[in-house]
Chain A
């Protein structure tokens, strides 16, 4: 299976997740967007040594996953894109920052280790949050929420159309790569002699497709605007969840629960 087919499968998987039903799915997309951004902001606002204070931020995220009925492990596969750069940046911290912070028996934990772990945890938590947003909200509803927040119509329309055509073109490119590899067995990628023509062919065909698409859009009465079916008004419940969520994030940001909890047992 090539990378295109794999990505297509992931895209479909996300759509299936978003089509499920749960209290989190039913929440207004705008509220979810606000809460997700607030959660990520809270997580990244912790300083590089505040590892223990940040740990409780995992609780609301994991709770939301459970309420939504989505296994948290589903999103870990996606860490493969983000984690390399985070690791690259974080792995040097233990070598440069050697201030001892904590000694347990013979093991000394340095500031660099703490800041590296903080960075990794931040990476995982922010990814989990963003994943949950998309896994519980249909893309057209996110776009409708963006449009309501007065995002430029051009950009939102472009998002919707691109999302629609991404899977079409990925499918086409996937069958092209399969065909190519069947004719060039034992070859890893596209040979240099076909660098231009491979994607070029697809490009020309796609632009023709865009022209046909435009004509058919005009025939169906398109005049530069899409109409969004936004049947979900913001309810009192949505507002309550939003306010409670924001309050919770603020509480976790300013009160170090971990310390208080730990303080119950250790002095």
Chain B
């Protein structure tokens, strides 16, 4: 689900960075100083563990495929939502920088899609309410906690993954990248991630169950000693709910609108000219109104070896013309030349050494 830079328009990428930075700011400030000094190694090792753990393949019984771990849910169950969120940011940042898994500019969006939902929604709306509830209490103390862990992990993974996948659809649509209709894109993404979420939830619950058996005090909200007693319950929950409502509401209105492009247009505040530029309507005379262009035109008179070569529709609105094609080929040749020169220098240097 890691998004690449190419899938986002700058405005959307920026907006997602602002959202994620806000959540990160809240988390940094929410962790007290003495707490962070003590927790820092825990958070670092936890993040490194998720990083390594996500590369382990788990065989799904009965099928040939394999599943992976859901990091956000596990970290927030172990470290709490704020520390878990910061650890997930770091995991995503390292994945993006060193493994090109997600783009540098898309990092804001990726943090939101994969860390925010898993940590904040997963913890405040799912993990904590379920772990503190009296669900399954007829089964005896230990079995009840175990059932709650399984339920919370699966629900948490499924819901956070659904929200994340829906956000991917929303962000891509707002960026105006794809021609895929909003409804079809959603219908493609959500079922896939429902299955993935289910498997991830099962794996995560298996790990958390093991931790519960071995060292229950490591898990949040399981033993009373680790109880944070609702310091941020209502306010944060309401804020998160408001954000989700806004996101989902925004998505639905986009779906309802018969002109999704209109939203994109409105979002970027483009005037008529800007709109035309966005749709590449005026590319015909784009950048050719300068002395340099005039000079080029006069040179062109003499150099054009394909004068008056007619191409059908070459002045169509989409505006990529033969000149663009030929120019691209020249640029590509130029790039090849640079590469060849670099290779030559490298080889010579190697011979010297």
Contact = CB atoms under 8 A, between A and B. Distances in A.
A178 to B, nearest CB: 12
Interface stretch (B116-124, B222-230, B247-255, B296-304): B296-304
B206 interface: yes
B49 interface: yes
Contact of A262 (B46, B104, B319, B324): B324
B203 to A, nearest CB: 6
Contacts of B15: none
B interface majority secondary structure: helix
Interface string A39-83: 011011101111111011011001101110101100100110111
Interface residues of B, number: 132
A4 B311 contact: no
Contacts of B323: 258-259, 262-263, 266-267
A11 B98 contact: yes
Contacts of A258: 323-324, 327-328, 330-331
A58 B336 CA distance: 11
B283 A173 contact: no
B277 A47 contact: yes
A47 B276 CA distance: 11
Given A45-B10, A262-B324, A99 B316 contact: yes
B97 A154 contact: no
Given A41-B10, A93-B179, A157-B40, A173 B28 contact: no
Contact of B105 (A41, A49, A55, A111): A41
Nearest to B178: A89
B316 A43 contact: no
- Interface size for chain A: under 10, 10 to 19, 20 to 34, or 35 or more residues? 35 or more
B258 to A, nearest CB: 16
A211 B45 CA distance: 10
B4 interface: yes
B22 to A, nearest CB: 13
A126 B324 contact: no
Interface in A250-266: 254-266
B211 A173 contact: no
A53 B286 contact: yes
A26 interface: no
B100 A81 contact: yes
A100 B315 CA distance: 11
Contacts of B320: 49, 51-52, 101-102, 109, 114
B56 A190 contact: yes
Given A52-B327, A89-B7, A264-B296, 13 more contacts: A7-B55, A55-B331, A101-B313, A129-B104, A134-B98, A162-B87, A173-B52, A259-B324, A262-B323, A262-B326, A264-B303, A265-B304, A267-B300
